[in-house]
Amino acid sequence: MRWVAAIVFAALVSTSAFASDQNGDWWNGLSRNERLVYVSGIFSGIQYEYKVWDFGLVLSDKTSSQESLEHDKSVEDFATKHNEKEFRNVSAGQIADGLTALYSDYRNRRITVDGAFIIVVRSLDGSPDEEVQKLLEEKRQEAAQ
């Protein structure tokens, strides 16, 4: 089992070096399973970062000023609410399907997957369609530069 994890980790690390190439053309070349593994990896990264942040707050309790701790706590509260809004009851399959749908439009294929991920999450979290469309247009413009 460890060798499978090592292979998946090596594949993700090797592809991260080419993040600028991870756009719609790259996404469309992946199989359904590869797409699900990729999105699951993003979810795992988000959970890992949250745990690291939480652990950092525990450590800083002993070394930080009260003002700094209050700031850190407010940032943590914001992140918690943000993550709950965006990822509650959202599956890797929904995100993968959203990315596939987004990249079915040739105009979106230059958008990087990390940018497209944000668009898809916003469309799933109940953000107004106008806001999602504006974000899509911004990401298209960024990709065109």
pLDDT in tens, 16-37: 545 568 999 999 999 999 999 9
What pLDDT does 36 receive? 96
What pLDDT does 107 receive? 97
Q: pTM for the whole thing?
A: 0.70
What pLDDT does 6 receive? 43
Give the total residue count for the chain.
145
Secondary structure class of 126 (helix, strand, coil): coil
Q: Is the dihedral of CA 138, 139, 144, 145 positive or negative?
A: positive
Residue ranges per domain, the chain?
2-51+90-144
What pLDDT does 125 receive? 86
pLDDT below 50 — which residues of the chain? Answer: 1, 3-9, 17
What pLDDT does 111 receive? 97
Residue 42, CA distances (Å) to 38, 69, 71, 108, 137 in order: 7, 28, 27, 20, 23
